[in-house]
Structure 1
Amino acid sequence: MSTGTRTNVLPVRNEARILNQRGSRWRHLVPYLVMVPALLFLLAVSIVPLLYSLVVSLLRFNLMNLDRTGFVGLRNFQLILESPDFWNSLRVTVQFVVIAVGLELLLGLGLALVLSRNVPGIAFFRSFILVPLALA
């Protein structure tokens, strides 16, 4: 008679799996690290000038003589709001925007309705309109 002995099999350590687990933390960080230069560029070209503009808006600023600047607070904004030229410019700008957006909306909707119909020769007309848009 033979006697059987039970042996426990130890799991084989997979070296590739261990390396994969170690590198997985870095693998998750790589996309964020790749974005850092782009975010720094956006910061440099958008947020820094915005903050500079806010600071300059609170100063008495003369482009002919940059040495004579002084803090005036919200006085610049008060002068703008009291100026009739500002209100006239604002009125003209709002009129232009309303008319331009309205016309573009009507023309675009009309063109879309024309291009959506199935009539003979519409393929040429669609190409005539859409190819320049695609190439621009």
Structure 2
Amino acid sequence: MKPLVMIAVFGGGLASGVYAQSFESGTRLPVNSVSGSQFEVIEEGSVGSPQVWCAAATYSNDVLGQYAKTELTVISPRGPSVTSPGRKGVVFSTDTTGLDVVPRAANSATTDIAGVTFAVSMALTFCDEEGEVN
């Protein structure tokens, strides 16, 4: 029985490492790559939507090198994480080509609606100079 438990524990560790943490924003929120233009901001503690948008904008700017005229779009609204099992996250994309969501400008910093879009420059206004939320 012990070897079976060890295999299960070791195998589970490998499965959870598939999406390695790729970035931690100034908000201290982990951001994991999902694909070339998609990434997920993982929620921690009692963060709000502005912190999630700040983390997404910082990742787009610092990691993807996409800032000027880049739109961030919520692809998968706040819910169970796709990269960190047991956690909550929001999947964003910088390219909506071929996706099923219809982008629409945000009226507020919500992360609960697929398709909501903010320009990176606008989302960065939720951050202070250190990349933390204002």
The structure number with the bigger radius of gyration is 1
Structure number with the bigger relative contact order (C-alpha 8 A, sep ≥ 6) is: 2
TM-score, normalised with respect to structure 2: 0.27
Query: Which is richer in helix?
Result: 1
Query: Which is richer in strand?
Result: 2
